[in-house]
Chains A and B, each alone.
Chain A
Amino acid sequence: MSVYDVVIIGSGASGGAVAYTLCKAGYKVVVLEKGRLIKREEFSKDELAYSRRDLVTPNLFDEYHTIEEKVDGEWVTTPTYESGWSFWNGNIVGGSSNLMSGMLHRLHPDDFRLKSKYGKIEGANVVDWPISYDDMEPYYTLAEELVGISGKVDKHPFEPPRSTADFTQPPTKENTVVKLFDKSCKSLDITPLVTPRAVLSKDKPGRDACYYSNLCGSYGCSSGAKGSSREALLKPALATGNLTLMSNTYVKYLHADKKDEVHHAIVIDTVTGKEKKVKGKIFVVAAQAHESARLLLNSANEHHPDGLGNSSGEVGKNLIFSGGGSGQGELHKDSLKHIKFEELMTTGLFVNRSILDWYFIDHWWDGTFKGGSVEFMFEHQNIISRARKNGYEEGKLVWGRDLGERLVSRFTEQKSIRFEVFNDWLPNDDCFVSLDPTHKDKFGMPVGKLRLEGHPQDVKVGNYIAKKCEEVLEEMGAKNIYSSISSAPPQNLVAGGCRFGNDPKTSVLNKYCQSHEVKNLYVADASFMPTGGSVAYTWTIYANAFRVADYIVKQLEKR
């Protein structure tokens, strides 16, 4: 059996970035991916398949999590096959990066030193990062170029500094609604910014520019425009001849036959059910935060009784999500200002707008605290879900001819504009993943048990920002405006669980995301993040994985 230089578990954003870097540097890499391969030409905009059935994530009766939530002061555990609340995010080659909307931001330099900036927050485990924005900046730039992030630099006090003048790709095409949006923001003294988006506006070698399909998030991209790990990184990695891509391969556990070294992974071919060993010099876990921690915990043995690399007891702790929520308003044909209704109804074009004005709040009355970012977009264009949402009136089902009237009006005489608020999910003692003591998945391995509780501050901040966004929608002339900020975690925005830090007693990984105690073990996904910042994680995941990969190359060169 061959021994790979590097074994990577997971093919999403971070696994792809590590594979790309190592393969380009000439090392033999294997990527183990639980899901199947769906090629660019095989993706379609099939709402029933992608959005309404579990076809790109495991069936919850086969693989699931148990979720522990506080109900009336008691912790209550519910398996996700009972609730239907899936914590899987795109188990296919390229992971959930295939299905993202791609609205990305870099973290702000102060996100790396939240504790120094704001001090201790009661009930929250906030710490500074062991690295600074300057350490990450070159890799944000690298990700921008390789993944293909389009955008436009606007001056803003909370926009992080850049080493390059502007994006190499201009923004994707925008719907006329941005004229109304920008005008409304300006009259409220708010600065609208163009959202950086991991979607190509121009062709790049091997990938075609966006064709504005109207269905981007939740779907795979059929032109290669979306900067998924599969398109942007795994394909070029495969072209080097150094990458072995094993799809349909589930990793049960990693085996360390001594204290400080992983020897092999035990995997199952999910098609044949056969079990085998995959040996490597270096192991990189990149399975998405909650699953990476689960894999380390499931890899416990006599050398690592509490889980692989877990003598600190910190594996799985301080799991974080994104705080915030969303809101919406309707732009009606009969009351639309400044823009033409027909142009508003043009499908496919992006809104591409974000607001960073409330990233840090320092106000004479409201106080001084960390705020968050906001993205504006149209309501998701899925037809079935939009139709279904409009089938109620005052809590009663609407059916018959009334339903027909209602749907036709809803789809042809208005369009909904939506905002999403992203603010810090403060790490705390009641948000973590451990192994469920009784439940096992279909491969016989204990499932992850997620205790989920947010910090009260998160909801306060979310509501503060949502109120401001509602004012923007009001200024735009939107009707039926509402917002919903909740303490329920968005399962697609998950990080933490294997904190990085300088002290092996309080962190799992060192500043290069290498296990403090198992020297050939790295965790490259968002698990490392001690605090999450107030933007979607993906750009930071890409950037950090490139940074980690550079370090691994240096370690391999020394051997």
Chain B
Amino acid sequence: MKRRKFLILGSALGLSPYIKAKEISDFEKKFKKLEPILSVVQEHLFPEGSKIPSARSMNATQFLFETMMHKSFDKDIKAFVLEGAKELEKREKGRFMFMTVEDKEKALRAYEETNYGSNWLSRIMTLTMEGLFSDPIYGSNIKEAGWQAISSYGGFPRPKTRYMEL
């Protein structure tokens, strides 16, 4: 309801472009602040030594940032990704990043027990997989390592630009 009112107001006053531009730079700042914890979560979910490439080796956090910056990305999900990371930091009293692998596992499984946490983790999984298994043009799935791991390849023709920018 709130968002609807905002939308109607924004378009009526012709403020949308201004708001959008401001929102992007705000988002960038906020993302950079939360980037370390997001990376650590992605690396825990997609670790080294798995049969599929790790988040770290596939630049998963950079992909996360870039895909959320694109204009096609749902702005509610964008906000949710950041909020969920902040919430994790808060519930673990700022210690999450410094935990052992076992404690991280415990913390994330406990977070998963909450509806909110489960949705957030699911979203991070989805966004990381989008990078790992999308065309290498998006910067993750480097040298098709994601595709090779599961012997499944994207069809032809491959995209020449990101997001169908013709």
Contacts and interface: CB of A to CB of B under 8 A. Distances in A.
Contacts of A82: 3
Interface stretch (B26-34, B43-51, B80-88): B43-51
Nearest to B4: A79
A48 B147 CA distance: 14
Interface in A345-383: 381, 383
A399 B72 CA distance: 27
Interface string B81-104: 000000000000000000000000
Contacts of B152: 381, 383, 386, 411
B49 A38 contact: no
Contacts of B60: none
A555 interface: no
Interface in B120-166: 121-122, 125-126, 129-130, 132-135, 137-138, 147, 149-152, 154-160, 162-164, 166
Contacts of A54: 72
Contacts of B70: 53
A214 interface: yes
Contact of B156 (A213, A404, A411): A213
Nearest to B154: A45
A559 interface: no
B107 interface: no
Given A383-B147, A403-B46, A403-B52, A214 B155 contact: yes
A412 B166 contact: no
A61 B7 contact: yes
B129 A388 contact: yes
A383 B156 contact: no
Choose among B47, B50, B132, B151 the residue with the greatest number of A CB atoms under 10 Å from its CB: B50
Contacts of B112: 396-397
Using C-beta atoms within 8 Å of the partner chain, give the interface range for chain B. Answer: 35 or more
B62 interface: no
A43 B4 CA distance: 34
Nearest to A441: B11
Given A54-B72, A384-B133, A408 B154 contact: no
Interface string A39-51: 0001111111110
A48 B135 contact: yes
Interface string A190-212: 00000000000000000000010
A47 B118 contact: no
Contacts of A61: 7, 75
A407 B150 contact: yes
A408 B133 contact: no
A404 B8 CA distance: 45
Contact of B52 (A38, A56, A222, A404): A404
Given A48-B135, A384-B134, A400-B45, A222 B156 contact: yes
B4 to A, nearest CB: 7
Interface in B44-74: 44-47, 49-52, 67, 70-74
A397 B129 contact: no
Contacts of A42: 164, 166
A408 B51 contact: yes
A43 B129 CA distance: 23
Contact of B163 (A49, A81, A399): A49
Choose among B4, B50, B155 the residue with the greatest number of A CB atoms under 10 Å from its CB: B155
Contacts of A185: none
B163 to A, nearest CB: 5
A192 B76 CA distance: 47
A61 B74 CA distance: 9
Interface in A12-57: 38, 42-50, 52-56
A59 B73 CA distance: 9
A411 B150 contact: yes
A49 B150 contact: no
Given A54-B72, A411-B152, A400 B157 contact: no
Choose among A46, A55, A215, A388 the residue with the greatest number of B CB atoms under 10 Å from its CB: A46
Contacts of B135: 46-48
Contacts of A439: 4
Interface of B: 3-4, 7-8, 11, 44-47, 49-52, 67, 70-75, 105, 112, 118, 121-122, 125-126, 129-130, 132-135, 137-138, 147, 149-152, 154-160, 162-164, 166
Please list the 5 inter-chain residue pairs (A to B) with the smallest Cβ-Cβ separation, ordered nearest first. Answer: A404-B50, A404-B51, A45-B155, A411-B150, A46-B159
Given A388-B129, A397-B121, A440-B8, 16 more contacts: A44-B159, A49-B159, A53-B73, A54-B72, A55-B164, A56-B164, A59-B72, A81-B3, A222-B156, A222-B157, A391-B125, A399-B125, A400-B46, A404-B50, A408-B51, A411-B152
19 contacts: A38-B164, A42-B164, A42-B166, A44-B158, A44-B164, A45-B155, A47-B133, A48-B67, A50-B164, A214-B155, A383-B133, A384-B134, A388-B125, A388-B126, A397-B112, A400-B46, A400-B50, A407-B149, A411-B152
Interface of A: 38, 42-50, 52-56, 59, 61, 79, 81-82, 84, 211, 213-215, 219, 222, 381, 383-384, 386-388, 391, 396-397, 399-401, 403-405, 407-408, 410-412, 439-440, 442
